[in-house]
Chains A and B, each alone.
Chain A
Amino acid sequence: MLRYALKRLISLVISLAVASVVIFAVIEVAPGDPASFMLGVNAQEDTLAALRAELGLDVSKLQRYFNWVGGMMVGDFGTSYTYRTPVSQMIADRLWVSLPLALYALTLSTAIAFPVGIYAAARRGKPGDLTVMGATQLGIAVPNFWFAMMLVLIFAINLRWFNAGGFAGWDKGLWAGLHSLTLPAIALAWPQAAILARVMRSSLLDILGEDFMRTARAKGLSRRQALWRHGVRNALIPVLTIIGLQFSFLLAGSIIIEQVFYLPGLGRLVFQAISARDLIVVESVVMLLVFAVITVNFLVDLAYAAVDPRLRSRT
């Protein structure tokens, strides 16, 4: 297990290194000089040079790359070109919206998908199963931002149960915060729940055909008991992997959903930064998201290997 963990750790570090080079390179070829963008077309050459020095843009590309990566390792993400505030502070503020949103959506998607998937598998081929499978096909085909607009139309505009957008802020209390994240979380969770329910169902169906399930029935357990005690537990392994992967979809998906609900999260930060050509912010937020996704996948792999020793021999 230790060897496996070490091997995966090395590939994690390589992935992160390559990712940082790619992101840096992409931003590097972006046209336009941040300093002249900030000061406008009439800026004097010496003012521009002074600003470039202040922003750390006057050193070689290689030096800048290492400054950027080295800074991030100690929590220094640089200074925003437009706001002149530390990027780390901006990210920290926005994370308080994006992270709870992704976790809320993950909880919802799991809470919906588990019972639905188990129900469908237990009624394989019957009308209940077919209805669920049809509904999940629809769930996968629905773009989540469109679903979000429909939720706003029904629950905010017509029924007035929720606000159409905006974030109340956690200082108004946990309930107010959760309340304003509820519609976005449902919109995010819906397509993921459809996928997860399908995975849960097919994983459970695979397990139901196993010999040990027949043994469980033979020793006198009812169908229901065998399903819960032996089936569900064994079916969870692939499902957990998917949940890990979904975290990345949810984080990325929240970028678009935040636009629908005008939520002040990382997604809005990225788009504001893009339109202001505040590339240091774009660069750092993208790196942070990639870091989160790669690290979560790494942790899922480790957990997976800890549960199932057979996987350790594969890479």
Chain B
Amino acid sequence: MSRSLILGASLSSLVLLAAAISFVWTPYDYAALNIPGKLQPPNAQHWFGTDHFGRDMFSMIMVGARTSIAVALVAVGIGMALGVPLGLTAAARKGSWLDELIMRGNDLVFAFPSLVIAILITAVFGAGAINAIIAIGIFNIPVFARITRGAALSLWEREFILAARVSGKGAARISAEHILPNVANLLIVQGTIQFSLGILAEAGLSYVGLGAQPPTPSWGRMLADAQTMVSFAPHLALIPGLAIIVTVLGLNLLGDGLRDWLDPRIRVARA
């Protein structure tokens, strides 16, 4: 296992753990106001300090992790759930009008500046976590469709697929039983990368006020609140930003590490 895999897995599990623990325990109630104790820098009682309402930043970061992860994970889920079958279908019907339709549709979604469309969707249907998920999820579909199709196409040429066809299996069954398990590694790696992009996208949307709405804490929202106070309370901006960086960096390293680890060719080359 490579260093990037270990570092990435540790950072990612740290964040996941914080999010999971936040369901049962946070140092303070994340929504509890304490105006007299506002804007404290990090100290022994409040490890990450307090915000302008005296809320405990550490608790808010923990619960915010939950928001970020939920939004990004569901968005990746949408992308996979729709993109992978589309990619498998396109590969199984290579060269047909269906393949053409799916791939042209993909190109079209790809050509849209995703953030602009996310803003359009949330602007029209209202800001909120659900709409943020949909906006981010839509742009995950072509990513997974394309990568699945590409990998599946080369598999269809292989002999074990020919054997399966000779034994009488239909295209749908072959796709599900033989192609899908063989592209799973690739999908896991891409899923990790899209997950990290989703975290960044969620932060951006909630920073401009189009993501999860108060009182649900979210890292992007915390940064937006911090903006006017950055000169006298820099920790308000520093800490949520570092939380985002740790998460995204962790997931990217994990993705890179997994790619190397799961790809047997690279493993042999290294050994």
Contacts and interface: CB of A to CB of B under 8 A. Distances in A.
> Which secondary structure dominates where chain B touches chain A?
helix
B116 A146 contact: no
A234 interface: no
Interface string A191-205: 000000000000000
Contacts of B107: 11, 15
Interface residues of B, number: 39
B204 A30 contact: no
A297 B111 contact: yes
A141 interface: yes
A145 B204 contact: yes
Chain A contact residues: helix, strand, loop or mixed: helix
B119 interface: yes
B113 interface: yes
Contact of A286 (B104, B116, B220, B223): B116
A137 B252 contact: yes
Interface string B105-124: 00110011111110111011
How many chain A residues sit at the interface, stated as a range, is 35 or more
A6 to B, nearest CB: 17
Given A143-B200, A143-B204, A152-B230, A293 B112 contact: yes
A256 B204 contact: yes
A146 B108 contact: no
B75 interface: no
B248 A290 contact: no
B115 A256 contact: yes
Interface stretch (B52-60, B146-154, B178-186, B237-245): B237-245
A140 B252 contact: yes
Contacts of A253: 115
B102 to A, nearest CB: 14
Contacts, number: 112
A271 B120 CA distance: 10
Contacts of A149: 223, 226-227, 230, 237, 241
B253 interface: yes
A141 B237 contact: no
Contacts of B249: 137-138, 141
A269 B249 CA distance: 33
B237 A26 contact: no
Given A252-B114, A252-B116, A293-B113, A260 B124 contact: no
A141 B241 contact: no
Interface in B213-271: 220, 223, 226-227, 230-231, 234, 237-238, 240-241, 244-245, 248-249, 252-253
Nearest to B207: A145
A150 B237 contact: yes
A20 B240 CA distance: 37
A259 interface: yes
Interface in A232-249: 248-249
A29 B113 contact: no
Q: Considering the complex of A and B, which 4 residue pairs feature the smallest CB-CB distances, nearest first?
A: A146-B241, A141-B249, A141-B248, A252-B115
Given A146-B203, A255-B208, 4 more contacts: A141-B248, A259-B208, A270-B119, A286-B117
24 contacts: A18-B108, A19-B108, A19-B111, A19-B112, A27-B124, A137-B249, A140-B252, A143-B200, A143-B207, A143-B223, A146-B203, A146-B237, A251-B113, A252-B114, A255-B115, A256-B115, A259-B207, A274-B123, A282-B123, A286-B117, A290-B111, A290-B116, A293-B113, A294-B111
